[in-house]
Amino acid sequence: MIQTSGNPEIIYEDESIVAVVKPYGMIVNNADTSQHFYTLQDWIIENIKNQKDKIKSDDSSDFSSRAGIVHRLDKETSGILLVAKNIESFKNLQAQFKNREVKKCYSALCHGQFSDEGRVAVPVGRLPWNRMRFGIVPEGRSAITDFKPVSIYEDPDDSKLRLSLIKAYPETGRTHQIRVHLQYINHPIYSDILYAGRKISARDRKRLSRHFLHAKEITFTHPITNESMNLSSDLPVDLTDFLKTLKEIKI
């Protein structure tokens, strides 16, 4: 079982919104499948001032059922999440996501050598034969991700193989989108137990106990002031420490 790497960190807060950095291993929302886990939603109710009272005052809304959490990250993915403190801000931010006005940047380490920037625009949907996984399916929802290489490293288990540290910019927000798109172009994320393949992910997990994906930057419009907001989060210690064990290749 993946264990959470700690508590969330608040990186921005005002009367309308909170931005937190979710640690890996923490589930975002409460659900039947997460009832035995301490979730980000539990943490928000306990730690964001007056949030518990606000969501109780409006039990019928998405704002209440999600404790103001506007979007999601996978359990093993760390990084920035936005939380609204009131219904007005919640609905405004949701609309920004729906209209693709929110810009996000992720850091990912993937297998193979990325040589150029690129875009993947293929539909993503739940696999009919495995409801726990997503993939490229014709009846899926449209999904677009741009990629940009940052650094190239030797694979720690084979000096002839390469790993690429990249930036991923998802224009859409489908479940597992970045992970599925990278698998589709034969660059699965390092230590991704669902999409890197059984043999490769088992080997990777001996060195890194979760997939290498971090939501590092988000740009949006403040729901009340209309100010342009840009927030960022450094790679967490477990990922930076892992990078230090790799040999960077000069291209």
Give the position of tokens 């230090």. Answer: 244
For residue 105, the tally of other CB atoms under 10 A from its CB is: 19
74 catalytic, yes or no? Answer: yes
Tell me the Cα Rg of the chain: 18
Three-state DSSP class for residue 34: helix
Closest Cα partner for 10 from 42, 48, 54, 64? Answer: 48
Residue 108: closest CA among 239, 201, 4: 239
SS3 125: strand
What the block records as the tokens of 29 is 């929302």
Both structure tokens of 175: 């479940």
What is the H or E stretch that residue 182 is in? helix 177-184
Collapsed DSSP state (helix, strand, coil) of residue 45:
helix
Locate 210 and state its tokens: 């979760």
Rounded distance between C-alpha atoms, residue 203 and residue 207, angstroms = 8
In the numeric block, which tokens belong to residue 1? 């079982």
Going from the C-alpha of 251 to that of each of 149, 166, 188, the distances in angstroms are 12, 15, 21
Q: Which of 42, 58, 59, 74 is catalytic?
A: 74
Hey, which residues are catalytic here?
A: 74
